[in-house]
């Protein structure tokens, strides 16, 4: 079974400075999480980030990083991940200039050098999907098909996001099964309906079949970490949402 963890983006408003970040890690650890992804935290010295995570028994398993570091400072990126003891360096969003048929091929040209350097360092570039990657391109294929074709599995994994896969019209379990070789880490996020509004929800609080999803991830032999993420908690405490997800996953 993949190990569970929390995505710090869920609690990003409580990670703006070192003191708040430390308090946030304490709360996350108290829920029961033992792994964490670093995303959207404040300008905190990486050594202090690592020390605070260690202090709270949280292993850093994934990061999201600025595009500029992949393109201009991959050595700095690798150095920080060595400090963290983290093998997975994530890109959280595809820059908009790559969203067109003309711009998309440049993604491979631009990011492949960094991906190769990460591989040489025993690390891997992880790409986090949203829904727009499942838009049809002029040739009738999904944008995601092109991304996967230009960046082979040995150079780029996919941090598959269950909510966005469903939102993008994919059969979540089928997609996870077809691309299992890239799924070292996944994001768990539920999909719910409130009237005419589509909402993100804590795991187990929406319509996705997480019992089946977790069975697929458990059996694929690739997925190491399943990280809970909820971008919007709609006024609820993000810590309560993380706990609700954790409690549900423990029941599975």
Which structure tokens are listed for 210?
């997480």
pLDDT digits (tens, 9 = 90+) for 13-33: 999 999 999 999 999 999 999
Dist CA 92 CA 106 (whole Å):
17
Domain covering 3-251 in this structure, CATH number: 3.20.20.150
Domain spans of the chain? 3-251
Query: If you search the block for the tokens 């983006």, which residue do you land on?
Result: 9
Q: Cα-Cα-Cα-Cα dihedral of 71, 76, 80, 82, to 10°?
A: 100
DSSP 8-state code for residue 129: P
Q: What is the pLDDT of residue 158?
A: 98
pLDDT digits (tens, 9 = 90+) for 175-229: 999 999 999 999 999 999 999 999 999 999 999 999 999 999 999 999 999 999 9
Q: Are 137 and 101 in contact (CB under 8 A)?
A: yes
Q: Are 64 and 12 in contact (CB under 8 A)?
A: no
Residue 1 pLDDT exceeds 90: no
Single out the residue of 30, 29, 36, 26 nearest to residue 5, CA to CA.
36
Dist CA 205 CA 189 (whole Å):
9
pLDDT digits (tens, 9 = 90+) for 66-87: 999 999 999 999 999 999 999 9
Dist CA 7 CA 70 (whole Å):
21
Model pTM score: 0.97
Dist CA 182 CA 124 (whole Å):
10
Which structure tokens are listed for 233?
């908690």
Single out the residue of 165, 133, 162, 160 nearest to residue 149, CA to CA.
133
Percent helix, strand and coil across the chain, each rounded to 5?
Answer: 45, 20, 35
Give me the residues paired with residue 159 across strands: 128
Question: Could you tell me the sign of the dihedral formed by the alpha carbons of 156, 170, 65, 24, in that order?
Answer: negative
Q: Are 192 and 207 in contact (CB under 8 A)?
A: yes
pLDDT digits (tens, 9 = 90+) for 89-123: 999 999 999 999 999 999 999 999 999 999 999 99
Residue 108 in 3-state DSSP? helix
Q: What is the pLDDT of residue 234?
A: 97
| 137: confidence class by pLDDT, cuts 50, 70, 90 | very high
DSSP strands (E only) in the chain = 3-7, 35-38, 59-64, 88-91, 124-128, 156-161, 185-188, 190-194, 197-201, 225-228
């Amino acid at each position: 079974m993949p190990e569970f963890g929390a995505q710090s983006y869920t609690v990003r408003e409580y990670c703006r400075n070192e003191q708040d970040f430390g308090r946030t890690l304490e709360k996350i650890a108290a829920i029961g999480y033992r792994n964490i992804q670093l995303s959207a935290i404040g300008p905190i010295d990486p050594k202090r980030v690592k020390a605070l995570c260690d202090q709270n028994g949280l292993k850093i398993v994934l990061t999201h990083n600025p595009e500029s570091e992949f393109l201009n400072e991959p050595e700095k990126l690798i150095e920080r991940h060595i400090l963290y003891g983290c093998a997975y360096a994530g890109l959280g969003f595809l820059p908009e200039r790559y969203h067109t048929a003309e711009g998309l091929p440049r993604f491979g040209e631009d990011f492949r050098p960094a991906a190769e350097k990460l591989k040489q360092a025993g690390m891997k570039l992880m790409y986090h999907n949203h829904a727009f990657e499942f838009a049809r391109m002029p040739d009738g294929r999904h944008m995601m098909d092109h991304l996967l074709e230009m960046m082979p599995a040995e150079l780029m994994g996919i941090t598959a996001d269950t909510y966005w896969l469903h939102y993008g019209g994919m059969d979540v379990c089928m997609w996870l099964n077809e691309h299992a070789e890239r799924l070292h880490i996944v994001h768990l996020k539920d999909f719910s309906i409130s009237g005419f509004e589509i909402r993100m929800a804590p795991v187990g609080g929406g319509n996705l079949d997480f019992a089946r999803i977790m069975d697929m991830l458990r059996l694929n032999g690739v997925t190491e970490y399943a990280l809970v993420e909820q971008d919007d908690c709609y006024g609820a405490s993000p810590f309560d949402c993380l706990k609700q997800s954790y409690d549900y996953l423990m029941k599975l």
